[in-house]
Amino acid sequence: MVRFLNIRWLVLLMMVVASISCSETKIESQEINYGDVVQFDLDSIQKRGKIILLTENSASTYYLYRNQVRGFDFEMVRAYAKHLGVRLEVIILDDVDKMFEMLNTGQGDIIASSLTVTPERTRHVAFSTPVYQTRQVLVQRKIYRDSSNIPEILVHDSTEINLLPIWVHRYSSFYQRLAEMENQFGVDINIQDAPGEISTDDLIRLVDDGSIPATVTDENLAMMERTSYSEIDFSVPVTSLQNIAWALRPNAKSLLGSINDWLALKKTKSKLESTYKNYFSSDDFEPYNKNYAMPPITPGAISPFDSLFKVYAPQIGWDWRLLSALAYQESRFNPNAVSRSGAFGLMQLMPETAIRFGCDSAPDPTCSVAAGAKYLKYLQGLWKKRVPNPTERDKFVLASYNIGQGHIIDAQNLAKELGMADTIWDGHVAEALLLKQQEKYYSMPCVKHGFCHAKEPYHFVGKILALYEHFKSETKP
């Protein structure tokens, strides 16, 4: 099903190519009217008691994870709002031009959405001190020329950029850079205008599965995706380091000064560094497959916490070894484990979830397992009517434990909308969950929780069930 849907996208892309070819002209930049700029500065924001962030729903900006809002841009603007002593309101948009319009007409106060500072943009908005710097890199598919299975790439440096058609959005900084390179190198680059409904993240996926040959993205975003895709190369830069900053109304002088002063603080710089590392460093995600390594088991015991699993598993109607498998996958049986997202303890509960189900932030194994069991029981109740089959229901419960029930309910709704079986996990709802990485699907009316880092929960269920079978083969009930 996923492959079929990518082919449909390819047809759409080919239609766009045809329309461009028929015109035999390059797409020229157009002057965009972002509306009259209202006067609404820091004093008005403080008097109102809230600051309004304009951003997009993506892996680096704003998304929902384990029922908690996350995202680099969201976290940093939230920290600034706390510094000001005002509430933060977030408006999610998928159109940068609309963000600029809403900013200048007073419907938002800050755009924080991985914006590259460009000369064209500085004509319409003011930019803060850079929050970080990154380069643009070419995203191209690897080539396998012979039976050696050693991958090669077609473009080795920026002077060969004309060797591949490159899909980017018309008004993006990526398009602007490619147009500059045409003049710089005196070559015609085959720049293809990507439809607006297909995000940059989606374009990377289309390169990976071979639907399009190349696109361009920011290097820090490429680092986030590096372990998720096996067939693409990010090694060729097309720019030097560029500034990424927040956009403000050009007449909001006091707000600009306040933000820049805050960004210059030592504690802010420390938070920027740690938050950037949390989001943009490559993770150690390992997909589930037939070679997934099983942990060794000491004869007669799975872990030092077997007695706890044996007490709490019956309370949710589970085999204690299934609860052990979940704990192993979450924390490797380390009661002091803390994830980059803030999940902690043996069962890796988010702080808010742990407190809700009776456990504070202390890494106490008994407390963690007890709270984890209560959370699982809650999820079982939520899915009981939605998924009648108990075996299938366990898969929905596990996926919900990993990423939050909202995303899994979305996936079930999406599966139904696309004609899949909405009560069967493998091959149906699991595949629909993967589609929640693509803007075309996470923006559908039946999807309420937006973008999802879907590969982790997609593989999480298979890992838990494989661990469970492994534990059963080595221990007694």
For the stretch 458-470, pLDDT in tens is: 999 999 999 999 9
Residues contacting residue 23 through CB under 8 Å, at least 6 positions apart: none
Q: How would you classify residue 354: left for phi > 0, otherwise alpha for psi between -120 and 50, otherwise beta? A: alpha
Q: Residue 18 above 60 pLDDT?
A: no
**What integer pLDDT is reported at residue 22 of this predicted model?**
33
- For residue 162, what are its two tokens? 């004309």
pLDDT of residue 26: 41
Token pair for 45: 């924001």
Please name the residues in contact with 209: beta carbons below 8 A apart, sequence gap of 6 or more. 3, 6, 231
pLDDT at 333: 95
4 vs 169: which has the higher pLDDT: 169
What value does the mean pLDDT of the chain take? 87
Least confident segment among 4-8, 100-104, 311-315, 340-344 = 4-8
- Confidence category of residue 183, pLDDT binned at 50, 70, 90: confident
Whether residue 27 has pLDDT greater than 60? no
Q: What is the pLDDT of residue 248?
A: 97
* Class of residue 385 by CB neighbours under 10 A (exposed 0-12, middle 13-18, buried 19+): exposed
Residue 236 has pLDDT above 70, yes or no: yes
- Percentage of the chain with pLDDT > 90? 65
Quote the pLDDT of residue 329: 94
Which segment of 31-45, 159-173, 319-333 scores lowest on mean pLDDT?
31-45
Task: Give pLDDT tens digits for 246-295.
Answer: 999 999 999 999 999 999 999 999 999 999 988 887 655 555 555 667 78
pLDDT of amino acid 445: 94
Strands 191-193 and 166-168: parallel
pLDDT for the residue 287: 58
Q: Are strands 136-141 and 247-248 parallel, antiparallel or unpaired?
A: unpaired
Q: Can you give the pLDDT at residue 286?
A: 59
In percent, the amount of the chain with pLDDT more than 70 equals: 89
User: Of 60, 226, 30, whose CA–CA distance to 137 is shortest?
Assistant: 226
| pLDDT number for residue 307 | 96
User: Which tokens belong to 336?
Assistant: 């002091």
- Torsion sign, CA atoms 178, 184, 187, 188: positive
Is the pLDDT at 7 greater than 50, yes or no?
A: no
Dig out the tokens for 423 from the structure. Answer: 């009560």
**Per-residue confidence (pLDDT) for residue 149, from 0 to 100:** 75
Specify the pLDDT at position 200.
Answer: 82
- Across 29-43, 153-167, 402-416, 432-446, which has the greatest mean pLDDT? 402-416
Q: What pLDDT, on a 0 to 100 scale, did the predictor assign at position 1? A: 37
* pLDDT above 70 for 350: yes
pTM as predicted: 0.76
Specify the pLDDT at position 29.
Answer: 42
pLDDT computed for residue 173 by the predictor: 87
Higher pLDDT pick, 126 / 58: 126
Chain segment 79-98, per-residue pLDDT in tens: 999 999 999 999 999 888 88
Show the tokens assigned to 114. Answer: 């991985």
Listed ranges 4-8, 47-51, 352-356; the one with the highest mean pLDDT: 47-51
pLDDT confidence bin for 221, thresholds 50/70/90? confident
**Residue 150 has what pLDDT?**
81
**Range in 188-197, 329-338, 441-450 with the lowest mean pLDDT:** 188-197
pLDDT digits (tens, 9 = 90+) for 360-405: 867 799 999 999 999 999 999 999 999 999 999 999 999 999 999 9
**Contact at 8 Å (CB) between 359 and 396?**
no
Maximum mean pLDDT: which of 229-233, 320-324, 356-360, 450-454: 320-324
Q: What is the mean pLDDT of residues 429-448?
A: 92
Give which of 329, 265, 279, 277 is closest to 302, Cα–Cα.
329
